[in-house]
Amino acid sequence: MASWTAIVLFLSAALASTSQFTTAAITPSLSTWTSCGSGLDCAKLTVPLEYADASSHETATIPLVRFNATAAVRKGSILVNPGGPGASGVAFVSAGAGQSISVITGGEYDIIGFDPRGVGGAEPKFACFANAGDEYDFNSAFPAGANLWIGAFANATERKAVASSMKDFDTAAANLAAACLKQNSKALFTSSASYVVRDMASIVDALDGPGAKLNYWGFSYGPIFGVEFIQTFPNRVGRIVLDGVYDAAANAQTYVSQLPNDQISVRNAIKDFAQLCFEAGPSACTFAGASTSAADIEARFDALHKTAFRTPVVASGVPISSSILSSFLWNFFTVPPTWPLVSALIAGLEAGDASALLNVLVTSAGSAPANRSAPAVGLRSLSSMGLTCVDNAPTNLVPLMYVQNLVANLTVAQQTPWLGADLGVLSFCRNFGSKRPKLPNVGVSKITDTDCLLAEHNTTILIVNGIHDSSTPLKSAQHLRTMLPRSSRIATRGGPGHTTISFPSLGLAKTVANYFRTGALPPDGAFYPSDMVVFPKNTTLSVAPSTPTFNGTSYSDSDRAILNAAYGIVLAFIAIA
């Protein structure tokens, strides 16, 4: 029998043979860093456009931003990705996440934000329209989702109306997919996870030296890139935190495999909202009203969706339909610090006044482009569907009737009111066709071999997740933990919120800090409560309070600095949204 060392060497060689750059014609090159803000430098990395074609001379450009290390001894770089897919890492770090992550990690690393292929300032851009005007017009007309309500599936007439709405939404998504295919951006089939992780390796090469190991904090969709990286470059894995985990196994399949995971924890998050609102009372949570229990608040919350489905409240001629309400709540529920504002807006809606809610929706939508003939900007609200789709297996053979039945069954089984607002990727992919990038994603096909190799080299991934994350449920993080039984640890944060950082916890922030600074790991399955007060007294309503309120009474100065830095990451997420 071969020795364990020999087996590890074989696995290492086998994995390395599948992850080589096929880029003889292009050598990645980094531009000169220039100052672009307080403590910030910016640069661009030129990389091969098509890693699957060694003869191609076409290039892609990846923007980078660096928040410089402040400690006397620099340990290297930490790459960060805010998820999406389609969110700008440059904007994220520039909006304060760079400084905040630096504080949490002791200033010992340069914090690096990058725009993944097709996103933000990256070129070529993942755009589905020839100009900004056409893109804006399509985005403005694109529905928020399918109009549905949980109770509609028990009523034949209303169920028929839901099916009709889902068909209309599917048609809109089909029009978007057709536009993307017609535009045929050079980024369309060169922006999948397999390409992004090769860019990440090139970034590390340029910053910390050829072959240096990746240190990484990936949020939301960011763990998909993390899982792809560790399998593609298992010998280059440093300290990696995967925060708010999409199920990588399901993500490699058709999107009908991912949809059942998306909202498993939504009902628990709604219950958390109701309980926290009831405990705070109407002086802090407007929606509490005269309710005498959390259960009553939850029932009134559900009744809003019924009303929006049957008799929408109209503001300035705009009916606040179930699809609009669901999309609003689905997005804002991911960030508990926004809940005081959410509470006030839905209290107004319940009273028949949707004007404040409409104002927030209009403000969030952005303004028309000043120059309609300028190149399309690759709006994240549109591009994220395509970016997810090219990471999935083809979904085009899934019939609409199957989608309608799946949504009906999941909505009732999970008691989630928001699946109608979460159909974009599935409907887009159903109409996108079967073509995928030339360089296929690993998915999880090499996860077992990777686990063995990482364990042999005493390399451990840190997985962190909220227990009631309404977008990436704990179940997905636990699944990843089982796929990396020898080379990962998992830690959880109590309560709702998408990614652990959205509802700051001192214990978990310290755990992440210790991991990056010393490699220290928490006990597997360690649990940390949140320290944040969601409904503080006498708060001024805004998207989120500028100054957070924490529930501890004896924080040290360093503890408070870490908590404030964690909240700074929350504000950066809100800024880029």
For every residue of 352-383, DSSP letters joined together read: T--HHHHHHHHHHH----S-TTSPP---HHHH
Contact assessment for residue 90 and residue 121, using Cβ atoms and an 8 Å cutoff: yes
Identify the pLDDT of residue 63: 98
Which residue did the predictor score with more confidence, 196 or 25? 196
Each residue of 223-268: pLDDT tens digit?
999 999 999 999 999 999 999 999 999 999 999 999 999 999 999 9
**Residue 234: partners with Cβ closer than 8 Å, 6 or more residues away:** 12, 15, 16, 449, 450, 453, 454
Beta bridge partners of 218: 81, 242
Give dist(CA 344, CA 282) in Å, integer.
10
DSSP code of residue 244: S
Give the pLDDT of residue 523.
98
> Strands, DSSP E only, in 381-536?
461-468, 488-496, 526-528
Residue spans of alpha helices (H) in 236-318: 248-251, 255-262, 266-280, 294-310
Q: Give residues with Cβ within 8 angstroms of 164, minimum separation 6.
A: none
Mean pLDDT of 115-144: 94
For residue 296, report the phi and psi dihedrals to the nearest 5 degrees.
Answer: -65, -40
Return the SS3 of 215: strand
Instruction: Give per-residue pLDDT as tens, 457-515.
Output: 999 999 999 999 999 999 999 999 999 999 999 999 999 999 999 999 999 999 999 99
Task: Please give the average per-residue pLDDT across 106-117, as a whole number.
Answer: 97
Measured CA to CA, the distance from residue 433 to residue 447 in angstroms comes to: 28
Q: Do 377 and 127 meet the contact criterion of CB atoms below 8 Å apart?
A: yes
CB-based contact 113:93 (threshold 8 Å): yes
What CATH number does domain 29-124+188-255+441-533 carry, 3.40.50.300, 3.40.50.1820, 3.40.50.620, 2.60.410.10?
Answer: 3.40.50.1820
Q: What is the per-residue pLDDT for 381? A: 84
Report how far apart, in Å, the C-alpha atoms of 268 and of each of 37, 164, 532 are: 41, 29, 18
Output the pLDDT for position 364. Answer: 79
Interacting residues of 320 by C-beta distance below 8 A, sequence separation 6+: 308, 312, 313, 314, 349, 354, 357, 358
447-484 as b/e: b if 16+ CB within 10 A: bebbbbbbbbeebbbbbbbbbbbbbbbbebbbbbbebb
The angle at the Cα of 485, spanning 483 to 489, to the nearest 5 degrees, equals: 105
Mean pLDDT of 47-66: 95
Q: Residue 19: is its pLDDT beyond 80?
A: no
Indicate the pLDDT class of residue 62, thresholds 50, 70 and 90: very high
Region 171-193: what's the mean pLDDT?
96
In whole numbers, what is the pLDDT of the chain averaged over residues? 93
Give the mean pLDDT of 287-295.
95
What b/e readout covers 155-188, taking b as 16+ CB neighbours within 10 angstroms?
A: eeebeebbbebbeebbebbbebbebbbebebbbb
Asked if 127 contacts 183 with a C-beta cutoff of 8 angstroms, the reply is: yes
Q: For residue 369, say if its preceding peptide bond is cis, omega within 30 degrees of 0.
A: no
What is the per-residue pLDDT for 366? 77
For the record, the structure tokens of 248 come out as 């990588």
Residue 136: CB atoms within 10 A of its CB come to 20
- Rounded Cα distance between 253 and 257, Å, is 6
CA distances 110 to 98, 117, 215, 216, 224, Å, are 9, 22, 10, 11, 23
Give the pLDDT confidence of 83-105 residue by residue, as tens digits: 989 999 999 999 999 999 999 99
**pLDDT at position 10:** 47
Could you tell me the pLDDT band of residue 2, with boundaries at 50, 70 and 90? low
Residue 3: band (very low, low, confident or very high) from pLDDT cuts 50, 70, 90:
low
The per-residue pLDDT for 12 is: 54
How many other CB atoms are there within 10 angstroms of residue 361's CB atom? 19
Give Cα 156 distance to the centre of its chain.
Answer: 36
Provide the pLDDT for residue 152: 95
Beta bridge partners of 461: 488
Asked if residues 565 and 101 have their Cβ atoms less than 8 Å apart, the reply is yes
What is the C-alpha R_g of the chain? 23
H-type helices in 420-536, by residue range?
Answer: 424-430, 447-456, 474-483, 506-518
CB 88 within 8 A of CB 96: no
Q: Tell me the domain boundaries of the chain.
A: 29-124+188-255+441-533
Q: How far are the Cα atoms of 359, 477, 511, 525 from residue 489, in angstroms, in the given order? A: 44, 10, 12, 7
Instruction: Tell me how long the chain is.
Output: 577
CA-based angle 335:340:342, to the nearest 5?
70
Percent of the chain with pLDDT over 70: 95
Is the distance from CB of 392 to CB of 255 less than 8 angstroms? yes
Containing 219, the helix (H) or strand (E) segment is: strand 214-219
Nearest to 162 by CA among 269, 306, 12, 39: 306
Average pLDDT over residues 292-299: 97
Closest CA to 166 of 374, 496, 427, 527: 427
Q: Which neighbouring-strand residues pair with 77?
A: 110
For residue 24, pLDDT beyond 50: no
Average pLDDT of span 14-41: 75
Q: Does residue 148 contact residue 309 with C-beta atoms inside 8 Å?
A: yes
